[in-house]
Amino acid sequence: MDLERSPLALPFPDMPAIEGVTLRVGRAGYKNWDRADLTYAELSKGTALAGVFTRNVCCSSEVELGREQVKLGQARALVVNAGNSNAFTGYRGREAVEQIMAQVAHHLDCKPSDVLVSSTGVIGVPLPKDKAEAGIARVLDAPEVSYEDAARTIGTTDTFAKGATATAMLGDTKVILNGIVKGSGMIAPDMATMLGYIFTDAAVDPAFLQQCLSAASAGTFNCITVDSDTSTSDTVLAFATGKAGNAPLAGFDDAGADAFMAALHDVCRQLAHLVVRDGEGAQKFIAVNVTGAESDESARRVGLAIANSPLVKTAIAGSDANWGRVVMAVGKAGEPADRDKLGIAFGGVWAARNGLPLPDYDEAPVAKHLEGNEIDIDVDLGLGEGRATVWTCDLTHGYIAINADYRS
Amino acid sequence: MDLERSPLALPFPDMPAIEGVTLRVGRAGYKNWDRADLTYAELSKGTALAGVFTRNVCCSSEVELGREQVKLGQARALVVNAGNSNAFTGYRGREAVEQIMAQVAHHLDCKPSDVLVSSTGVIGVPLPKDKAEAGIARVLDAPEVSYEDAARTIGTTDTFAKGATATAMLGDTKVILNGIVKGSGMIAPDMATMLGYIFTDAAVDPAFLQQCLSAASAGTFNCITVDSDTSTSDTVLAFATGKAGNAPLAGFDDAGADAFMAALHDVCRQLAHLVVRDGEGAQKFIAVNVTGAESDESARRVGLAIANSPLVKTAIAGSDANWGRVVMAVGKAGEPADRDKLGIAFGGVWAARNGLPLPDYDEAPVAKHLEGNEIDIDVDLGLGEGRATVWTCDLTHGYIAINADYRS
């Protein structure tokens, strides 16, 4: 099935090189695709590593191993397989990952645990070891490619290549952060997952890099949803080569730590938005802003209940200012809420306040806002200071076409 | 929008009369419908009452009042408004309900708290008091109608009238249980909710009737889902007129209590299935059987995660034996599960066992099963003795058409 480029796609940004990061792509032939399906990133010695992973308990071997590797805090290489998720494949799947780690470690003369592996695609088919081995041998000799090429190669049913970049000043030293990501739902025909990789030349202590990545993910990757279906392979990794030469960051009190954190958050937010913009069947990009909750976490849960509601998502697809469905979603979230304090706005225009429709509510500007493809929903719970923003896309015939009209 | 009759519809069953229950329908004109929209059930003195209600915290005044009335345990009448849910309408909505209660109480010379009111339809528009008053006056004089007429009148976007009946022997006394229900999702254009009513001539103590109804709902109404969207008005009420003349049931040790409970459970299960069979856009009826969970409640949550997964529902719509999506849904349920003990079957044929695809898995009978419109998914978690069955329908273009292609 050929998928059309999402109407919400953004152009790939210009990305500067990052010293210590070398990207290559090649072809293992996991599927009958007429394109590269194997991505390899070589990282200079001393690169710090951090990662966050899916909470799905039926996760892949790659995720299980990755969790252990992140504790060691260092990396020399990343391998990404596209077309086969290697999830739910038992010991045979794990052997395939360990083979890739050993093969690359031998090439780089490093420890296997320094080699990170991710895979997305079909669930339940062990990654074929012979194809992996031959593919790795080829990719190690392949020419260097751009971040855009790498972003395209890690994709599966993605309709456009996704990347984001930012810089930060750490004292007098400018550091670069480049990120690439793939994903557009739990995903299409047998495919699965969001994978994100962030590369920086900043020098960052692994433990602090992990702290920064976890914090940045909480308000970005963990605040997006396409279809409420949590993949078995979701992974975001951050690699810091340290080649920029700044004094290594080890805590939030260090000079430049705030700037680095802000830049990392910026890249994570951009990447997270790009995944939503490639959501299956998406025609509209929706931001749900929840304020007045008892806590930020409560606000996030209410936001996710709204963003995951099929009735809210179809209403937005139909450009329908159906705030009754938003009321319903708030009420079912299982979080503190008081019907008689609730306010709801579309595009900044309040339709209801204090649990009552506003008598002077003017639907004309709201209807105009909803005809567009960047939708804002504001929900004020009127209880406390908790707030969160959650991003999603609408639910359209395109989603059904991608997921039901096709036989795996 | 005219909706086609669901392909999963069942014929309305023959229902015997129940002594002490008189049904009438009339027209209040809440919407521009060319049909009755007001249902009235008169109940003989001494009728016991029980009820279960939505857990949505943004519930309607009808639900708030109903919760209090159920504690009193007695009822003389039921009024059901169709076309306006009266939810999110503040004090004006509450006044309309209280007016109806007072009007009917005056007519019957009973307490207002003996009059139950339900409403479904548009959210956010106070029920118009003048239309309600005139409608009630008319319906009190209207001729008696059948359960099928009443079932049709309580409906909103339902595509067929839904009812179920059962009998039980309490010692030498045969008692009848008749139930009607409406609903097909949180529901279509601005509509909302499942409403269910069960009438019996059995003599049952209100507290015990509540115990029975709560227990029966747990494994029936609380185990169905169409789109994961919990309505603001969901209500199931049970009325026991006592006219059968059995020795009143007051506890599970009473003779005949087991038979009554079994018949009540049977009616609730049938009614719950009928709601799924009228699920918006439904083409297939799906039973998800979860075994081997740590507890029954854990099994129910895993079942709901599967039944609510858009990717599982679209796979079934596409007749696709995509067990990888079931693995994903089990993993995201947040319940105890072990990937390497998991088994998944479609139509009784196991595709995976102990976390691995079966090498001799024969997809032919599975493909045939999935082409049908009654689908069984079995999931064995391999951990304990907990089990549950959850019922749902597939997610099709019809759901999108009903909910997105129409402007409210």
Token pair 């991608």 is found at A402
| Chain B: residue whose CA lies nearest to A233 | B328
pLDDT beyond 80 at A2: no
β-strand pairing of B162-170 with B349-353 = unpaired
The verdict on B228 touching A (C-beta cutoff 8 Å) is yes
Q: Which amino acid is at B170?
A: L
Q: Which of A324, A399, A404 sits opposite B124 (nearest CB)?
A: A324
Predicted pLDDT at A398: 87
Predicted pLDDT at B233: 73
Which entry of A193, A200, A220, A235 is annotated as an active-site residue?
A193
CB contact under 8 A, B228 and A405: no
The verdict on A186 touching B (C-beta cutoff 8 Å) is yes
Strands across the sheet with B343-346, in order?
A: B356-357, B349-353, B343-346, B374-380, B285-293, B386-393
What 3-state DSSP class applies to A47?
A: coil
Predicted pLDDT at A189: 31
SS (HEC) of chain B: CCCCCCCCCCCCCCCCCCCCEEEEEECCCCCCCCCCCEEEEEECCCCEEEEEECCCCCCCHHHHHHHHHHHHCECCEEEEEEEECCCCCHHHHHHHHHHHHHHHHHHHCCCHHHEEEEEEEECCCCCCHHHHHHHHHHHHCCCECCHHHHHHHHCCCCCCCEEEEEEEEECCEEEEEEEEEECCCCCCCCCCCCEEEEEECCCECHHHHHHHHHHHHHCCHHHECCCCCCCCCCEEEEEECCCCCCCCECCCCCCCHHHHHHHHHHHHHHHHHHHHHCCCCCCCEEEEEEEEECCHHHHHHHHHHHHHCHHHHHHHHCCCCCHHHHHHHHHHCCCCCCHHHCEEEECCEEEEECCEECCCCCHHHHHHHHHCCEEEEEEECCCCCEEEEEEEECCCHHHHHHHHCCCC
Confidence of residue B4 (pLDDT cuts 50, 70, 90): confident
Whole-number Å distance between alpha carbons of A78 and A100: 10
Confidence of residue B185 (pLDDT cuts 50, 70, 90): low
pLDDT beyond 60 at A192: no
Predicted pLDDT at B157: 80
Q: Which amino acid is at A384?
A: G
Q: Token pair for residue A193? A: 């997952």
pLDDT beyond 60 at B351: yes
Q: Encode pLDDT of A112-160 as tens digits.
A: 999 999 998 878 888 999 999 999 999 999 999 999 999 999 998 888 9
Establish whether B408 is an annotated binding residue.
yes
pLDDT beyond 90 at B171: no
pLDDT beyond 50 at B108: yes
Report the complex ipTM. Answer: 0.81
Q: Which is more confident, A362 or B111?
A: B111
Share of chain A above pLDDT 70, in %: 95
Q: Encode pLDDT of A11-57 as tens digits.
A: 999 999 999 999 999 999 999 889 999 999 999 999 999 998 887 77
Handedness of CA B134, B137, B141, B146 (dihedral sign): positive
Closest CA to A8 of A227, A229, A275, A268: A275
- Chain A residues whose beta carbon lies within 8 Å of the beta carbon of residue B329: 229
Closest CA to B382 of B349, B345, B338: B338
Confidence of residue A190 (pLDDT cuts 50, 70, 90): very low
The verdict on A404 touching B (C-beta cutoff 8 Å) is yes
In whole numbers, what is the pLDDT of chain B averaged over residues?
90
Q: Which of A219-233, B141-155, B163-177 is least confident?
A: A219-233
Report the range out of A97-101, A166-170, B166-170 with the highest average pLDDT: A97-101
Site from B194, B314, B392 to mutate, A interface, most A CB atoms within 10 angstroms: B314
Whole-number Å distance between alpha carbons of B368 and B377: 14
Predicted pLDDT at B190: 37
Confidence of residue A230 (pLDDT cuts 50, 70, 90): low
Predicted pLDDT at A213: 94
CB contact under 8 A, B404 and A318: yes
Question: Residue A285: what are its φ and ψ, rounded to 5°?
Answer: -100, 125
Closest CA to A331 of B157, B197, B63, B30: B63
Predicted pLDDT at A19: 96
Handedness of CA A280, A282, A287, A288 (dihedral sign): negative
DSSP-assigned beta bridge partners for residue A170: A173
For chains A and B, what is the number of CB pairs under 8 angstroms? Answer: 214
Q: Encode pLDDT of B71-99 as tens digits.
A: 999 999 999 999 988 888 888 899 999 99
Q: Where are the beta strands (DSSP E) in A141-192?
A: 162-170, 173-182
Whole-number Å distance between alpha carbons of B362 and B198: 44
Confidence of residue B406 (pLDDT cuts 50, 70, 90): low
CB contact under 8 A, A352 and B124: yes
Predicted pLDDT at A406: 55
pLDDT beyond 60 at A408: no
Predicted pLDDT at B193: 58
The verdict on B310 touching A (C-beta cutoff 8 Å) is yes
- Mean of the pLDDT values across residues B183-188? 56
Q: Tell me the residues of chain A between 145 and 164 that have a Cβ less than 8 Å away from chain B.
A: none
- Mean of the pLDDT values across residues A269-291? 91
Q: Which of B59, B314, B396 sits opposite A331 (nearest CB)?
A: B59
The verdict on B396 touching A (C-beta cutoff 8 Å) is yes
- Chain B residues whose beta carbon lies within 8 Å of the beta carbon of residue A330: 57-58
CB contact under 8 A, A324 and B404: no
pLDDT beyond 50 at B408: no
Please give the domain boundaries of chain B with CATH numbers for all domains: 21-277 (3.60.70.12), 285-404 (3.10.20.340)
Q: Which of B59, B227, B331 sits opposite A311 (nearest CB)?
A: B227
Whole-number Å distance between alpha carbons of A326 and B123: 10
Whole-number Å distance between alpha carbons of B303 and A93: 27
Q: Token pair for residue B204? A: 């049952």
Q: Encode pLDDT of B261-277 as tens digits.
A: 999 999 999 998 888 88
B205 contact partners, CB below 8 Å, separation of at least 6: B48, B248, B249, B250
Closest CA to B265 of B215, B308, B302, B190: B215
pLDDT beyond 90 at B175: yes
The verdict on A368 touching B (C-beta cutoff 8 Å) is no
Give the distance from residue A376's alpha carbon to the nearest chain B alpha carbon, in angstroms: 18
pLDDT beyond 80 at B2: no
The verdict on A171 touching B (C-beta cutoff 8 Å) is no
Give the distance from residue A314's alpha carbon to the nearest chain B alpha carbon, in angstroms: 5
If one counts every other C-beta atom within 10 angstroms of the C-beta of residue B385, the result is 11
Whole-number Å distance between alpha carbons of A135 and B223: 48
A218 contact partners, CB below 8 Å, separation of at least 6: none
Closest CA to A83 of A148, A48, A36, A130: A36
B167 is catalytic: no
Q: Which DSSP string do the residues of A321-384 spell out, in sequence order?
A: --HHHHHHHHHHS-S---GGG-EEEETTEEEEETTEE-TT--HHHHHHHHHSSEEEEEEE-SSS
CB contact under 8 A, A124 and B232: no
Establish whether B182 is an annotated binding residue.
yes
pLDDT beyond 60 at B54: yes
Give the distance from residue A238's alpha carbon to the nearest chain B alpha carbon, in angstroms: 24
In whole numbers, what is the pLDDT of chain A averaged over residues?
90
Confidence of residue A231 (pLDDT cuts 50, 70, 90): low
Which entry of B193, B200, B220, B241 is annotated as an active-site residue?
B193
The verdict on A64 touching B (C-beta cutoff 8 Å) is no
Predicted pLDDT at A187: 38
Token pair 């039944």 is found at B307
Q: Encode pLDDT of B8-47 as tens digits.
A: 899 999 999 999 999 999 999 999 889 999 999 999 999 9
B18 contact partners, CB below 8 Å, separation of at least 6: B176, B178, B199, B200, B201, B241, B243
pLDDT beyond 70 at A193: no
CB contact under 8 A, B311 and A186: yes
DSSP-assigned beta bridge partners for residue A240: A48, A200
CB contact under 8 A, B88 and A339: yes
What 3-state DSSP class applies to A148?
A: helix
